Amino acid sequence: METGGLEWLLVPMRQVVSWGAAGAMVFGGVVPYVPQYRDIRRTQNAEGFSTYVCLVLLVANILRILFWFGRRFESPLLWQSIIMIITMLLMLKLCTEVRVSNELNIKRRSFAAADSKDEEIKTPPKRSYLDFDLNYFWHWSKFTDYVQCVLTFTGVTGYITYLWLDSSLFVETLGFLAVFTEAMLGVPQLYRNYQNRSTEGMSVKMVLMWTSGDTFKTLYFILNQAPFQFSICGLLQVFVDIAILLQVYLYSSYPQKPVSHTAHPTSTKAL
């Protein structure tokens, strides 16, 4: 009788825990970007955050969604990708607005051809239909250009996936590319810090959340005997996170460049 009563109590508790775990899986990935978003909005300075982090996560999650059509995985992971894509677009929107408002150079870069009636430029220069200058890739002046690029990538990869969806080799490769791309998440920020010889403007809370989340995820992969590439990519993510934290320590303890005393402290460099 007592066992039956406990079972009656445990069943709904397990359901609540399951819902909680699913919710954490869906929204947990975007939590690290909340403090970074607030810092950029408060300081109106996006110099310390690399928008290539957004590019990596957009590509990884788009590929993961396409992988879902070939191999149906848990729905919380699918929703996590959708929420992450929305979050990265919001981050890009904020960073673009802040950078352009602080940019002294009036020259504008775009993904698609500029409109000759653009009011921001009195004499718009001639441009090709697509601006593929690697020096300015993912450094455009309008948020709509980033949206166009994302939609173009989604359309091309989606069409290729539709053609090869029956190939198990292609589907498995697509899944690996999604995981591996996500494993490269911290590399743009690592390189950005190295370029600046500083971690100023980067949210340390964000990186700490990256580290804790990636460590938990990697341990989960290992303990549950997930596919080998999942564990390797998870370990790679943890190593990159630790490298960024080491940069925080080194650049704060041993400054690599003098403090700037310009009249425009909120002026930003190219993201």
Give per-10-residue mean pLDDT for the chain (271 aa): 58 70 72 88 86 91 91 79 94 92 66 50 46 72 92 96 92 87 84 85 83 79 68 86 91 66 36 38
In a domain, 131, yes or no: no
In a domain, 80, yes or no: yes
Q: Cα torsion at 240, 244, 246, 248 (round to 10°)?
A: -170
CA distance 213 to 215: 5
| pLDDT for position 134 | 66
Residues near 236 by beta carbon (within 8 Å), at least 6 away in sequence: 183
In a domain, 116, yes or no: no
| pLDDT for position 48 | 78
In a domain, 223, yes or no: yes
DSSP 207-270: HHHHHHHHHHHHHHHHHTT--HHHHHHHHHHHHHHHHHHHHHHHHHHS-SSPPP--S-TT----
Assigned token pair, 128: 């090709």
Interhelix angle 204-223/33-43, nearest 10 degrees: 170
19: containing domain:
13-105+137-253
In a domain, 259, yes or no: no
In a domain, 166, yes or no: yes
pTM for the predicted model, two decimal places: 0.72
| pLDDT for position 62 | 95
| pLDDT for position 175 | 85
In a domain, 48, yes or no: yes
| pLDDT for position 108 | 63
In a domain, 111, yes or no: no
Element (H, E) at 225: none
Report the number of distinct structural domains present in the chain.
Answer: 1
